[in-house]
Structure 1
Amino acid sequence: MTRQWNTVGEVMTHAVVAVGRDATFRGILDTLQRWKVSAVPVLAGDGRVVGVVSEADLLTVQDRDPDRAEAFTAGEMMSEPAVTVHAASPTAEAGRAMARGHLKRLPVVDDEGYLVGIVSRGDLLKIHLRDDEDLAGQVRFELLAALSTERAAAVDVRAEEGRIVLTGTLPEASALPVLERLVRAVPGVVDVDVRALAPA
């Protein structure tokens, strides 16, 4: 079975670098540079996410108080409460949260607020970078869920650079618009060409 790519947990990065409330300005800066990330979650002593420190937060502190910038800790600089998302959340939900907050990444937490991963804009874009074989397989799976096995088998699915081409026969012409909407809803599909015809 092909990957669904519908939830944050399916595209997130599991290995996450994080800091504690007491992390220093210099320590956070070094961490961002070492791991080539633009922000890090801040964890409480029990491991729950309490905030996020970003490059923008560091710059704000540096501009506001350049002489004392390096004395600040993560707890003093972080944006709180942290905007988080759950692994089971739809990828679209994460995308909307990033757009609303002008954020590049979100900590992914479990039901108790513990950090389990991180999802970035790049992770969400993986949906659109699926190879054609994977994408065609996902469309076939969706057709099987919507049609009978016999009807689904009568429709040939081909993917070309994210564009789905459907050929074959369907039981009735009225099903074509519904079929096209179903296929367009599959993450990663950029266009649909329905050439399937109802039998005479």
Structure 2
Amino acid sequence: MATADTTLPAGAPHSADDVVADPRRRDYMQIGAVAFAGIGAGVIALPLINSMNPSADVLALSSTQVDLSAIQPGQSIKAEFRKQPLFVRNLTPAEIAAAGAVPADSLRDPQTLEERTKAGKTNWLVTLGVCTHLGCVPLGAGEGENKGPFGGYFCPCHGSAYDTAGRIRSGPAPLNLAVPEYEFTSDTAITVG
């Protein structure tokens, strides 16, 4: 009986254990695949992350300039800051005295007028025009509007009344009108935000 020739050509592997792939080629392929996947993930993630950035119109509203020169003592104006009403009030000496006569510890949200205004500029009160109860816009900043029993602001939605310093005095609102970050850029102008 004839036997099969089991001789292999020279250089051919003799068994499965003798088959060894080139390790450098495998490493190159793995690094290439990981790099390709990483670049692909970056290409997909970059527009997604960029879509979460604020739009140009929001960035333009991130600060507001307010000219104070036309606001007479005792007057208020309404402006807009980040799509919310902003009240800027030029307090009279009588309004400043009335706010100072109220002991801060008797208030629901204890703050003095000095804590709510800039040093040396206590006549300028800058607040957001949003009631701290449910977000209604209080009256009192416009000409002839109801200023409430304390001469400041009055929220017509649920009856919260604020004094001339924008502090809550009666009604359901838990906090004073919020004072945003602002600075005087001159004696007659402020930048809010």
TM-score past 0.5 threshold: no
TM tier, shorter chain?
A: under 0.3
TM-score by length of structure 1 reads 0.21
TM-score by length of structure 2 reads 0.22
Taking CA–CA contacts closer than 8 Å with sequence separation of 6 or more, which of the two structures ends up with the larger relative contact order? 1
More helix, by proportion: 1
Greater Rg over alpha carbons, structure: 2
